[in-house]
Amino acid sequence: DGGITQSPKYLFRKEGQNVTLSCEQNLNHDAMYWYRQDPGQGLRLIYYSQIVNDFQKGDIAEGYSVSREKKESFPLTVTSAQKNPTAFYLCASSADRGTGLSDTQYFGPGTRLTVL
């Protein structure tokens, strides 16, 4: 089955620690995205990547870092610089490089991060 996997489903972090959220897709999609969702709110873009070894900041990139060494993988690191990291994190991918208007984004199941 083709799809997007995220791990872990739940993650607990102590203040001051960096944590890495995994996102893998086997859809052969070019573009991948990371979003953050806070309770009662929509999604906000953290980072996106249109091609391997390239990525761009979204609206709320501060305190986060990413890498895109392989087409199928786009891990997100939440660093200790992120002031309020407790949230639900969603990874998505799209077939084209995200430039087509109809380029639909497909999402993984999400990771819920809680800072203790």
Partner 1 sequence: AQKITQTQPGMFVQEKEAVTLDCTYDTSDPSYGLFWYKQPSSGEMIFLIYQGSYDQQNATEGRYSLNFQKARKSANLVISASQLGDSAMYFCAMREPRNNDMRFGAGTRLTVKP
Contacting positions for partner 1 (CB under 8 A): 31, 33, 40-45, 48, 50, 56, 58, 88, 90, 92, 97-99, 101-110, 112
User: Look-up: residue for tokens 């900041």?
Assistant: 57
CB of 94 to partner 1, least distance (A): 9
Taking a C-beta distance cutoff of 8 angstroms, is the pair 11, 111 a contact?
A: yes
Closer residue to partner 1 in complex, CB, 18/96: 96
Q: CA 109, CA 106: separation in Å to the nearest integer?
A: 10
3 state DSSP class of 78: strand
User: Look-up: residue for tokens 């786009």?
Assistant: 74
Give me the residues paired with residue 91 across strands.
Answer: 34
Closer residue to partner 1 in complex, CB, 37/73: 37
Taking a C-beta distance cutoff of 8 angstroms, is the pair 48, 103 a contact?
A: no
CB of 80 to partner 1, least distance (A): 25
Closer residue to partner 1 in complex, CB, 16/39: 39
Closer residue to partner 1 in complex, CB, 58/80: 58
CB of 72 to partner 1, least distance (A): 19
Q: How many CB atoms lie within 10 A of CB 49?
A: 22
CB of 101 to partner 1, least distance (A): 4
